[in-house]
Amino acid sequence: MSSLGTCDRKKNVLKWKKDMKKRREKLDMIRFVHTADLHLDRPFEGLSDLPDTLHERVKESTFTAFTRLIERTLSEKVDFLIIAGDIFDDSHRSLLAQRRFIQGMRQLEDAHIPVYAVFGNHDHLDDPWNRLELPENVHVFPAAQTMIPFEKADGQRVHLYGFSYERRHIAEDMAAKYVRAGTADFHIGILHGSLTTGGTKDHYAPFSIRELADKQFDYWALGHIHKREQPAPQLPIWYPGNTQGLSVRETGEKGASLVELDKHGAHVSFFPTADILWEEKTIRFREKVTADSLGAALDAEKEAARTGGHGVFLRLHLIFSETDENREAIDSLLREFLPALRDGEEHQSDFVWLIDTDVKVTPSWSREQLLKSPHVVGDLMRFIEHGEGWEEALAPLYRHHLGRRYLALPTGSEEKKIKEEAEQLLMDALVTDEHPGVGK
C-alpha cells in the first residue's frame, strides 16, 4: 500500500509540475493584434467610370477590411488591439466612418478586449467639432507622449506608450520622449511616423532604428507606411501596412499583424483583411503582334491575377520589340480589347478589372553588339559586365553596422540576377533605333 501511495504521489507531483509549466508558459505570453492606417471611408485613387456594382464595392472596401479585422481580433481572443494611427482619412472624419468604427469597438467591448489607439497625421486632434464619443474600452493617447498600463486577469502587466498627432505635420523627434516607466512584464511603443532618411526634412515624427533599439522595448507598433515591413530584421519593430490598398501604388496583400510576446521575444504573423487588391504586371512581346496573340496574352495575365477570394484592379505594362506595328496602332488595338476584357467582370466576386495600360515599343537589342558599341549604352553595358564599382555601390548598405549584422553579401547567382535586371531596365529606358549596332 505504501509503495502504491508513493507512486501515486510521484504521479501527482509530476502532473502538478507539468500543469505549472503550462500555466507559467501561458502566464508569460501576451497576445494582441497590431493594425494601422485603416483610412475608413477613403476613396480609391486612379479610377474612373466604374460600373455601379464595382463603385459600391470600392466604396465599402475599407469598411469590409475593418470588419475582417474585428472578426479576426475576436476569433483570436487576444488581450488587446493596437491601432497605430490614421483610423480616419482626414481631420473632418465622416460620421459614417465614425459610426462604423464605434460599432466595431463595441463588439470588442462586449468581448472584454481593450483598444489602444493613437491618431496620426490623417486624423489629427486639432479639429474635434464632429467627433463622436468612443466606447470606454478605447484608450486614445493624447498629444503628449503618455504611458497607459494594461493588466491581464492573471496579473501580467503591460505598459503601452504613445502619442497622437496634435496637427497634421510633426517634424519633432517624438521617439526621443519614449522612456520605459515603472515595472511591467512587457513594454510596447506605439508610433505613427517615418524612418528618417537623413539630409531631408521629414514632417511625420521621424525616428531612427538605433533610437528605437536603444529604448529596449519589447515591441514597436508602427504606423504611417502603407507597406508591411520590418525595418530592421530581427528587431521587434514592425509596420503592419494598411488594411486595404488605396491605389495602384499599394499592390499586394494588405492586412494586420497577430503578435505574441513571451520570454523568447516577439512572434509576428500576418493575416489578410483587404477586399480588393491592386496588382501590376509586365508583359514582354518579342515577336510579331497579332490580335490573336495579344488577346491570348491579355486573357492569360488576367486569369493569372484572379485570386478566387478578392477583387483585383490590374494595371499592365506592355513592352513590345521585334514588331512592325507602331505605338499608335498598338494603342488602338488595346482600346478595342479593353471593353471585351472587362465584360461581365463587374458581376464576379473575384473580378479582375483592367485599369490604364502602359505601352512601350522598343527595338530588340543584342548584348554582344552593345558591348562593342562606342556609345553611352555600350559604356553602361561594359560597366555592368566588368563589375566596376560593384562593391563601392553596395558599401553604404553593407558597411553600415546594421547591414553588417543582419545582411549577407549577395551570392554569385544573386549578383548575376541583379546585373541582368539592371541591364534590362537600362535597355528599356535607353535603347532606341538611333543607337547603331543595337539590332540583332
Instruction: Encode pLDDT of 291-311 as tens digits.
Output: 888 899 999 999 999 988 899
User: Does residue 161 sit in the same domain as residue 293?
Assistant: no
Lowest mean pLDDT among 91-105, 108-122, 286-300, 320-334: 320-334
- Do 299 and 200 lie in a common domain? no
- Dihedrals φ, ψ of 235, to 5°? -100, 145
Average confidence (pLDDT) over 356-377: 72
- Quick check: is 20 in a domain? no
Q: Kindly report which listed range (6-15, 22-31, 33-42, 309-318) carries the lowest average pLDDT score.
A: 6-15
DSSP string, 298-347: HHHHHHHH--SSSEEEEEEEEEE-S-S--HHHHHHHHHHHHHHHHTTGGG
Do 38 and 116 lie in one domain? The reply is yes
For residues 297 and 163, membership in a common domain is answered with no
Q: Which of 313, 315, 318 is nearest to 331 (CA)?
A: 318
Residue where a domain stops, chosen among 217, 247, 272:
272
The amino acid present at 411, given as its one-letter code, is: T
148 within a domain of the structure (yes/no):
yes
- Provide the residue range defining the domain that includes 292: 276-361
Q: What distance in Å separates the CA atoms of residue 157 and residue 33, rounded to the nearest whole number?
A: 17
Q: Within this chain, do residues 153 and 57 fall inside the same structural domain, yes or no?
A: yes
Query: What's the confidence (pLDDT) of residue 410?
Result: 72
End-to-end distance of the chain based on CA atoms, in angstroms? Answer: 96
Residue 2 lies in a domain: no
One domain, residues 174 and 78: yes
How many other CB atoms sit within 10 Å of the CB of residue 264?
Answer: 9
- Report pLDDT for 440: 42
Let me know if residue 3 belongs to a domain. no
Q: Name residues whose C-beta falls within 8 Å of residue 15's C-beta, 6 or more positions apart in sequence.
A: none
Contact between residue 86 and residue 120 where contact means Cβ atoms under 8 Å apart: yes
All 3 cell numbers of residue 367? Answer: 548584348
Q: Which of 244, 272, 300 is a domain's end point?
A: 272
> Sign of dihedral through CA atoms 365, 366, 371, 373?
negative
Any domain includes 128: yes
Please tell me the least confidently modeled range out of 117-121, 270-274, 394-398, 400-404: 400-404
Q: Are 78 and 33 in contact (CB under 8 A)?
A: yes
Give this prediction's pTM. 0.78
pLDDT tens per residue, range 149-172: 999 999 999 999 999 999 989 989
The whole-number average pLDDT for the span 75-96 is 92
Q: Tell whether the model's pLDDT for residue 389 goes beyond 50.
A: yes
Percent of the chain with pLDDT over 70: 78
What are the CA-CA distances from residue 145 to residues 137, 160, 190 (Å)? 20, 10, 10
Q: In terms of domains, do 403 and 422 share one?
A: yes
Say how far apart CA 245 and CA 242 lie, in whole Å: 7
Q: Do 133 and 55 lie in a common domain?
A: yes
**pLDDT at 433 exceeding the cut of 50:** no
The answer to whether residue 8 is domain-embedded is no
Q: What pLDDT digit, counting tens, does each position of 204-245 carry?
A: 999 999 999 999 999 999 999 999 999 998 899 999 999 999
Q: Cβ contacts of residue 399 below 8 Å, gap of 6+?
A: none
